[in-house]
Amino acid sequence: MNVYALVGPSGTGKSHRARMVAFGNNINYIIDDGLLIRGSKVIAGKSAKEEDSKIKAVKRAIFMEKEHASEVKEVIKEYEVESLLILGTSLKMINRIITALELPEPQEIIRIEDIASPEEIEKAKYHRQKKGKHVIPVPNIEVKPKFSGQLLEKLELLFSNKDDEIKAEKTIVRPKFSYYGKLLIADQAMTDLIEHTLKQDQRIVDIKKIKVDQDDEGTKILIILTIGYGWQLHRVAHELQLSVKELIEYSTGVNVMNVDIEIAGLIVEN
């Protein structure tokens, strides 16, 4: 496995440039803030931004919890990861992550100063320290500019070289508290993602309502549906609960507490 490290103080733009660095070095996987990311999809781990204190967040980011570390190690093995970019605020943090996940030493260490100008770094610090903005990867979610209580912006980047190009979409979020506060994705962004996924399910005839509520404890989701006649209601509802929970947690990194499914009616399809 080829391991690379991207090092820089908090708020200097590492997450913003991670995809660019990965693309330029043919790296398919990224470890950032407790998450294992492939492309633009979270495939394992839990975001440090979900924690309610800085100490807990740091422990999450360096995989101090055995269960957290074991999950990510198993997925790395399962996917036969050949190249990996690790983001960290210092070499010490990189080494802690490497030790926790039993990874090889990095073959290259890239510092944020090598890929960003002093002006760009200062701008990133300003947005982090003064405005509380954070860049996180979210896959194929249409992010709209105005949401109740949140500040979100859509960010699109296009990377290219002589052989290939990639369009990367990121979301800028403002956590509810500090940097190490709770990670919040827009309610509408999650609604759009759920709706798109449910529309692929042949058992569902109509989606009456999708409601997403986020608070300090986690995310609660209500879905009201009509389904085709002949399906087992309890089985359909249970399967949808599990699939929606997994979809949101692994796509966005937020914690889903409840997924309530209400069947509003049965439709006999011709």
- The string of DSSP codes covering 10-35 is TTSSHHHHHHHHHHHTT--EEEETTE
User: Do 127 and 254 share a structural domain?
Assistant: no
Query: Which domain-ending residue is among 148, 173, 198?
Result: 173
pLDDT score, position 153 = 46
Query: Which domain-ending residue is among 140, 173, 206?
Result: 173
In whole angstroms, give the CA distance from residue 185 to residue 61: 19
- Per the CB < 8 A criterion, the answer to whether 68 and 34 are in contact is yes
pLDDT score, position 64 = 93
In whole angstroms, give the CA distance from residue 29 to residue 222: 33
In whole angstroms, give the CA distance from residue 191 to residue 42: 18
pLDDT score, position 16 = 78
Provide CB contacts within 8 A for 199, sequence distance 6+.
Answer: 207
User: Do 254 and 156 share a structural domain?
Assistant: no
pLDDT score, position 215 = 73
In whole angstroms, give the CA distance from residue 157 to residue 17: 10
pLDDT score, position 145 = 31
Within a domain: 182 = no
CB atoms within 10 A of CB 107: 11
User: Do 195 and 164 share a structural domain?
Assistant: no
b (16+ CB within 10 A) / e for 237-253: beebbeebbebbbebbb
In whole angstroms, give the CA distance from residue 145 to residue 166: 23
Within a domain: 179 = no
User: Do 136 and 25 share a structural domain?
Assistant: yes
pLDDT score, position 48 = 78
pLDDT score, position 185 = 66
Pairing mode of beta strands 219-228, 256-267: parallel
Q: How many domains does the chain have?
A: 2
Provide CB contacts within 8 A for 57, sequence distance 6+.
Answer: 48, 49, 51, 180
User: Do 139 and 221 share a structural domain?
Assistant: no
Report if pTM > 0.75: no
The identity of residue 268, as a single letter, is: V
Domain span holding position 217 = 187-267
pLDDT score, position 214 = 80
- Per the CB < 8 A criterion, the answer to whether 104 and 1 are in contact is yes
CB atoms within 10 A of CB 83: 15
User: Do 40 and 121 share a structural domain?
Assistant: yes
In 3D, which of 21, 24, 50 has the Cα closest to residue 35? Answer: 50
User: Do 138 and 106 share a structural domain?
Assistant: yes
Q: pLDDT digit of tens for each residue in the chain (270 aa)? A: 999 999 998 888 887 788 888 888 889 899 998 889 887 778 899 877 767 667 787 889 999 999 999 999 999 999 999 999 999 999 999 999 999 999 999 999 999 999 888 888 888 776 556 555 555 443 333 223 332 223 344 444 444 444 544 455 554 544 443 443 445 567 788 888 899 889 989 999 999 999 998 876 678 999 999 999 889 999 999 999 998 988 887 666 667 888 999 999 888 866
* Exposed/middle/buried for residue 164 (C-beta within 10 Å: 0-12, 13-18, 19+): exposed
In whole angstroms, give the CA distance from residue 160 to residue 168: 11
User: Do 153 and 193 share a structural domain?
Assistant: no
In 3D, which of 190, 199, 178, 159 has the Cα closest to residue 253? Answer: 190
